[in-house]
Structure 1
Amino acid sequence: MHVLQHTEYGESFLIKNVRARWVLDSRGNPTVQVKVMTEGLGVGVGYAPSGASTGTHEALELRDGGRDFQGKGVRNAVDNVNRILAPALIGMDSRRQYEIDMKMIEIDGTKNKARIGGNAIVATSIAVIKAAASTMEVPLYQYIGGKYASLLPVPMLNIINGGLHAGNKLDFQEFMIVPAGFSSFSEALKASVEIYGELRKILKERYGPQAINVGDEGGFAPPLEKTRDALDLLIASIKSAGYVPGDQVAIALDVASSRLYNPDKKTYTVEGAELNADSLIEYYSRLISDYPIVSIEDPFHEEDYETFARFTNEFGNRVLVVGDDLFVTNPDRLKKGISMRAANAILVKVNQVGTVSETLTVVELASSSGLRTIISHRSGETEDTFISDFAVGVRAGLIKTGAPARGERTAKYNRLLEIEEEVEKPQYPGFKVFPRKP
């Protein structure tokens, strides 16, 4: 990764203007947009995404409270950018990403960015790196990863929604298809779109028109209660689209198990049954044996490093055991997870930690320790395509950005299609990014 190494002198890279405003995210809630301009006429626009299923250790999203926008307004966060951050950043070299991000952290002065707001800081940080790339007149992925950045990520597409992302009774939050058995990103995306279309047909036939309403991330939210019913629907849709489950298209799960956990009883409620950690491991074991599952995200609650480690030790050679709420893109929590071998993959969300520099630190730490990195959207998204370029720039090999539907999701996929055409020799890693082919 080259982004922190752009140090040659040039006045054209100096920041001359920073301006924030509120805009709408994909849930119709206000969020922060920041525009940064440089002396060399470079322009970068950054947006703050927003999660529904959030870890307790994430950077704080500053909201106004009160009556406006049902308390979800961001005028204070916007004002913090315009009144506090902008004067401090104007005149700084936009290429000095680390210095700029640390400056904002210093100004905030809290552990979780609660004073200025994680949403204010992350939108500004993204805008700065985009402005630097724009001034240099190179694509963002190339600015981040260098001239030869060419690894397209395998997409993990959430096409059946449950948990906090839907209004049904599915306990698990995301049921994803993973088109890893193809030679290019565009072929993989084509297959995904066709499978998504077949799923729509099957759901409408079986459950009626209401079953094809979509959740926050573009996936369908059918009236299901059983995990296996959702998995069977994925298998049926893959086959109906003419593809081979396991050989061409695998499956991934996001359990988001913290919300299923009862800390008093130390049990998880899954489909009406109370399961202890051992029973839940056995439950996952049966699913892994019966379906072509290559990844399970947050299989246990966010403080249970020990059970994560047990599960990874037993199943890490078969699936990616992904920490999202476990790590929240936080370097300290990741270091603990690495020392305990709690997971073999991390979900990376720039707004969880709050700056591009901190996110790069986490990616580098994970990669150097043998963990896979999955670059991820949030359920409350915008049309910003930053994570598409970021995934290519850091050679992540994996991306989560929802179903192939809704503009805030398709914008990311469309950007990856553009990148695939732009790079001289695009690479698509397929099943190489997983412990094994199911």
Structure 2
Amino acid sequence: MIYIDEVNAQEVLDSRGNPTVKTTILLSDGTAASAIVPSGASTGKREALELRDKDERFLGKGVLKACENVNTTLCDSITGLSPFDQSAIDNLLIELDGTENFSNLGANATLGVSMAVARAAAKSLNLPLYRYLGGANALTLPVPMLNIINGGSHADNTVDFQEYMIMPVGFECFSDALRASAEIYQHLKKLLKDSKHITSIGDEGGFAPNLKTNEEPIQIILEAVKKAGYKEGEQIAIALDVASSEFVNDEGIYCLKGEGKNLSNEEMIEYYEKLIAKYPIVSIEDGLSEDDWEGWSKLTQKLGDKVQLVGDDLFVTNAKILEEGIVKNIANAVLIKPNQIGTISQTMQTIRLAQRNHYRCIMSHRSGESEDSFIADFAVALNTGEIKTGSTARSERMAKYNRLLAIENELTFPVYLGKKLFNK
């Protein structure tokens, strides 16, 4: 029997230069596999706890305690177990922590182990990760949502909304969709440069210009779409991550500082209605704050049959919270971030709950990322159909896109035991 022989975690750096956990699993057959845990800047209140040292190192952001938890408690408990029973190992991690949000061991400790176990098991069986996790039905390449203008907590500029994304919805294959997106990104850079805007980029590779309104980024993006020779609405759509929990005050008023507006939830809904009527917007994420469930109900009733309404801070990849949203008819899509919940099995549970209830799923990166491309395989494994992983810039974002290109090639020209099988 193949079993887990060694477990080791070390502190490494993410794309923002902050510490994070890298976990390596060694199996008894000699297979070794690692995983690096991402970290978010805009986080929901009910996310699983990311354990930080809070000492003098790295301005308190060190993760030596989380690594120690992996190298002691978790290592002692899972050594000798089969790596092929993902749910049993993940349930053990939950039991060992003993809290609802991994506040004892840290979700960055448990997720690193969970991801590395899955990767080691797949590697031991000589299977791609997406095939191991998804089986024969892992066939769908996701439509990318590319964050090409950053605002909010992802950039130091005057734009309130956190992400302005393009969705290449009118293409037959992933590679064509990605090519179109990359071309639009380059045309956007030229347009910004010609208009004397700064073309520095934010955490997720999007540009971060100072613009007069929250509408202006959409206008510039659509101009870039036109310059690149693509059709807005038909080939390229717009998606927004408003991240409204970042600018709502204690009285429930949404403060758009960039525009000097203070809006109620009903006025925010009207604001979105006008944008949707004017532009080819197909998705709005976190349009209202995570605590404004009454507002979300109104938003869903008003716009739920017109656009995708995505809950990120609202649901935090938590099946219990999502189930409450389903019962109350809140939103119609859920953002999937494994580090919000703490294990791969819990993440899969949330995805399957959403899919059974006809909620769309969007696999997502975090603003603090690494070269780890786990979520690319995960999106294909669970047929989420959509993925958010930044713009066509910064190597930690491109690692995911390049992995999806490789998966597309494998699905087109399957490789089995090193021999390529061509369908003639």
- Residues 239-279 of structure 1, C-alpha deviations (whole Å, 9 max, x = no match): 01110111100000000001111122x21112211101111
Q: 2: CA distance between counterparts of 1:29 and 1:231?
A: 31
TM-score (norm 1): 0.93
Written as runs of structure 1 = structure 2, the 5 A alignment for 1:296-375 is 296-375=284-363
Question: Could you tell me which amino acid in structure 1 is paired with residue 265 of structure 2?
Answer: A
Q: For 1:392, which of 351, 376, 380 is the aligned residue?
A: 380
Q: For 1:224, which of 191, 194, 211 is the aligned residue?
A: 211
Question: Could you tell me which amino acid in structure 2 is paired with residue 182 of structure 1?
Answer: F
Q: 2: CA distance between counterparts of 1:41 and 1:360?
A: 28
Q: For 1:236, which of 214, 220, 223 is the aligned residue?
A: 223
Q: 2: CA distance between counterparts of 1:135 and 1:42?
A: 6
Q: 1: CA distance between counterparts of 2:78 and 2:342?
A: 17
Q: For 2:29, which of 37, 40, 48 is the aligned residue?
A: 40
Instruction: Give the structure 2 partner of residue 255 of structure 1.
Output: 242
Instruction: Give the structure 2 partner of residue 283 of structure 1.
Output: 271
Q: 1: CA distance between counterparts of 2:212 and 2:254?
A: 16
For the 8 Å contact 1:150–1:425, the answer to whether it is kept is: no
Instruction: Give the structure 1 partner of residue 146 of structure 2.
Output: 157
Instruction: Give the structure 2 partner of residue 402 of structure 1.
Output: 390
Q: 1: CA distance between counterparts of 2:355 and 2:30?
A: 35
Q: 1: CA distance between counterparts of 2:294 and 2:413?
A: 42
Instruction: Give the structure 2 partner of residue 268 of structure 1.
Output: 254
For the 8 Å contact 1:62–1:118, the answer to whether it is kept is: yes
**How far did 1:41 drift?**
2.5
Instruction: Give the structure 1 partner of residue 188 of structure 2.
Output: 199
Q: 2: CA distance between counterparts of 1:388 and 1:309?
A: 32
**How far did 1:43 drift?**
2.3
**How far did 1:424 drift?**
3.7
- Residues 342-386 of structure 1, C-alpha deviations (whole Å, 9 max, x = no match): 011000000000100000000000000110000000000011000
Q: 1: CA distance between counterparts of 2:242 and 2:43?
A: 13
Q: CA RMSD in A?
A: 1.1
**How far did 1:312 drift?**
1.5
Q: 1: CA distance between counterparts of 2:357 and 2:386?
A: 17
For the 8 Å contact 1:168–1:225, the answer to whether it is kept is: no
Question: Could you tell me which amino acid in structure 1 is paired with residue 363 of structure 2?
Answer: I
Instruction: Give the structure 1 partner of residue 67 of structure 2.
Output: 78
TM-score (norm 2): 0.96
- Residues 386-416 of structure 1, C-alpha deviations (whole Å, 9 max, x = no match): 0000000000000000001101000000000
Instruction: Give the structure 1 partner of residue 369 of structure 2.
Output: 381
Question: Could you tell me which amino acid in structure 2 is paired with residue 358 of structure 1?
Answer: Q
Q: 2: CA distance between counterparts of 1:113 and 1:225?
A: 42
Question: Could you tell me which amino acid in structure 2 is paired with residue 214 of structure 1?
Answer: I
For the 8 Å contact 1:171–1:225, the answer to whether it is kept is: no
Q: 1: CA distance between counterparts of 2:31 and 2:47?
A: 31
Partner SS, residue 102 of structure 1: helix
Instruction: Give the structure 2 partner of residue 122 of structure 1.
Output: 111
Instruction: Give the structure 2 partner of residue 436 of structure 1.
Output: none
Kindly indicate whether residue 96 of structure 2 is the aligned counterpart of residue 107 of structure 1.
yes
Partner SS, residue 416 of structure 1: helix
**How far did 1:70 drift?**
0.7
Partner SS, residue 114 of structure 1: coil
- Higher mean displacement: 298-307 or 309-318: 309-318
Kindly indicate whether residue 201 of structure 2 is the aligned counterpart of residue 214 of structure 1.
yes
Question: Could you tell me which amino acid in structure 2 is paired with residue 80 of structure 1?
Answer: N
Q: 1: CA distance between counterparts of 2:67 and 2:50?
A: 12
Q: 2: CA distance between counterparts of 1:195 and 1:219?
A: 12
For the 8 Å contact 1:149–1:393, the answer to whether it is kept is: yes
**How far did 1:83 drift?**
1.2
**How far did 1:178 drift?**
0.4
Question: Could you tell me which amino acid in structure 2 is paired with residue 293 of structure 1?
Answer: I
Q: Percent identity?
A: 51
Question: Could you tell me which amino acid in structure 2 is paired with residue 51 of structure 1?
Answer: G
Q: Which runs of 5+ in 1 are unaligned?
A: 1-10, 427-438
**How far did 1:425 drift?**
7.8
**How far did 1:148 drift?**
4.2
Kindly indicate whether residue 54 of structure 2 is the aligned counterpart of residue 65 of structure 1.
yes
Partner SS, residue 156 of structure 2: coil
Instruction: Give the structure 2 partner of residue 245 of structure 1.
Output: 232
Structure 1 runs (4+) deviating above 3 angstroms are none
Q: 2: CA distance between counterparts of 1:24 and 1:18?
A: 19
Q: Which runs of 5+ in 2 are unaligned?
A: 415-424
Question: Could you tell me which amino acid in structure 2 is paired with residue 130 of structure 1?
Answer: R
Q: 1: CA distance between counterparts of 2:88 and 2:382?
A: 20
Q: 1: CA distance between counterparts of 2:121 and 2:293?
A: 39
Q: 2: CA distance between counterparts of 1:38 and 1:355?
A: 20
Written as runs of structure 1 = structure 2, the 5 A alignment for 1:134-153 is 134-153=123-142
**How far did 1:309 drift?**
2.0
Q: 2: CA distance between counterparts of 1:314 and 1:144?
A: 37
Q: 1: CA distance between counterparts of 2:68 and 2:330?
A: 40
For the 8 Å contact 1:296–1:322, the answer to whether it is kept is: yes
- Residues 211-236 of structure 1, C-alpha deviations (whole Å, 9 max, x = no match): 11000000000111411110101100
Instruction: Give the structure 1 partner of residue 418 of structure 2.
Output: none
Instruction: Give the structure 1 partner of residue 159 of structure 2.
Output: 170
Partner SS, residue 398 of structure 1: strand
Partner SS, residue 195 of structure 2: helix
**How far did 1:42 drift?**
2.5
